Amino acid sequence: MEGGFVTRNCPDCGEPTTLPEHTFMNDIDLWVACPQCKAQMERRMVYKNYAFACARCDLYINLADLLPRWNEL
C-alpha cells in the first residue's frame, strides 16, 4: 500500500489485516543481502515501516519494496 504499509490475508478467514510486528521479526523466513557489502541485513522498524537494514553501510530496504503490489497478484 502507499507509504510502504504491508498487509496480509488471514490464513483462516481470508480477511485482510495488518502484518503483526512479531510475525515480521520472528516468523517470516526471508534472508536479505545488503546490495553493497552482501552481508545479511537485520530486520528493523524504519520510519514506521518494516525494513531490512545494514548498519555497516547505513542503508535499508523496506519490506514493501521486496513484495509485489496487491493488484499484481
What kind and span of H or E run contains 50?
strand 49-54
Q: What is the per-residue pLDDT for 72? A: 65
Residue 64: count other Cβ atoms within 10 Å of its Cβ: 17
What is the tally of structural domains in the chain? 1
Q: What is the per-residue pLDDT for 54? A: 97
Q: pTM of the full predicted structure?
A: 0.80
Q: What is the per-residue pLDDT for 19? A: 84
Range of the domain at 23: 2-72
Please answer whether residues 43 and 37 qualify as being in contact, where contact means their C-beta atoms are separated by less than 8 angstroms.
Answer: no
CA atoms within 13 A on the CB side of 11: 1
| Residue 14 to residue 46: CA distance in whole angstroms | 28
Residues of the chain with pLDDT under 50: none
Q: What is the per-residue pLDDT for 1? A: 52
**16-35 per-position pLDDT tens digit:** 888 888 989 999 888 999 99
